Amino acid sequence: MDMIQVDNQNENALFEAVPGGSPYNLAMAAGRQGVQVGYVTPISEDSNGDQLAANLLSSNVRLLGPRVSAPTSLAMVNIEDGIPSYAFYREGTAERLVTLDKLIQNLTGEVAIFHIGSLALTSGSDASIWEEFVGEAMDKGVKVSLDPNVRPSLIAEPDLYRQRIKRLMTKVDILKLSDEDLLWLFNDSVDENSALSELIAIVNADIVILTQGSKGSLIWHYDNWYEAPAYPVGKLSDTVGAGDTFMASVLVWLTKNENLKRLSVIELKAKKDLLYYAAKAASLNCEKQGCNPPWENELL
């Protein structure tokens, strides 16, 4: 649950509880765009968990993970000039109670994509389970999507985390990361260009995208990076969930345009259409408070 600072009163910060979390946001955004989505992470039985579950269901997302008694993770979100900063509380919480056996039960024949990223991969036995599950999904022919969505303040062992993310980068089919993620993960690089070279040297993904905020995005195509502009934001509220909405829209576009089985041969024009669609969705999200992705009819 994102506890977002909305005001101050009597020298105390006032917070609003808004459902959040990176893959959670992605599931919600994709469900609103009319594709079939299931959420496999456990959700708490507490009142915050009830709100999280209800929000997914109202966004057309099926709950495939169990409801458990452990509490809901919290993210304290302070926003300055529309840009969020985070502090996380997730020790012993519901989302970390994953088991490989229960996850594998969800790998049915109707599953086309599994998406992973952010806090789930930071540390602990759950991070190892998620990484192992990626291999299980790929063995069954499921496409895997990764958005590292790095949260440095929560990473106790940076070198181990970088190694895990880079191992996954060599396996996944679809990769999206921000320019901030890139420079943090490839911290020995002197600039963005050298970091991009390091990235391309290890990835095997057919779709590789770098987002750059208001500067737009880059997509890799036949040994070159190609630019796409950001979609203009009417009136900025904040950027919470913008990257997750962008990533969800990439997966939705690939699904609706029946490109999942031909990722390696998508033409450049189609890739630019993909970026335009995802950027528009992210822009519409930025016009609302917190992560509140657009519905399908808003994007048509």
pTM reported for the whole predicted model: 0.93
Structural domain of 284 = 21-69+98-299
Q: What is the CATH number of the domain that holds 104?
A: 3.40.1190.20
Residue 87 lies in a domain: no
Residue 148 lies in a domain: yes
Residue 34 lies in a domain: yes
Residue 141 lies in a domain: yes
Residue 142 lies in a domain: yes
Residue 215 lies in a domain: yes
Three-state SS at 247:
helix
Q: What are the E-state strand segments in 104-253?
A: 113-117, 143-147, 174-178, 207-211, 217-221, 224-228
Along the 300 residues of the chain, how does pLDDT read in single tens digits? 988 888 888 988 888 888 888 999 999 999 999 999 999 999 999 999 999 999 999 999 999 999 999 999 998 877 777 677 778 889 999 999 999 999 999 999 999 999 999 999 999 999 999 999 999 999 999 999 999 999 898 898 999 999 999 999 999 999 999 999 999 999 988 899 999 999 999 999 999 999 999 899 999 999 999 999 999 999 988 888 899 999 999 999 999 998 888 999 999 999 999 999 999 999 999 998 778 999 999 998
Looking at residue 83, its pLDDT comes to 75
| Burial (0-12, 13-18, 19+ Cβ within 10 Å), 287 | middle
Amino acid identity, residue 193? N
Number of domains making up the chain = 1
Residue 79 lies in a domain: no
Residue 2 lies in a domain: no
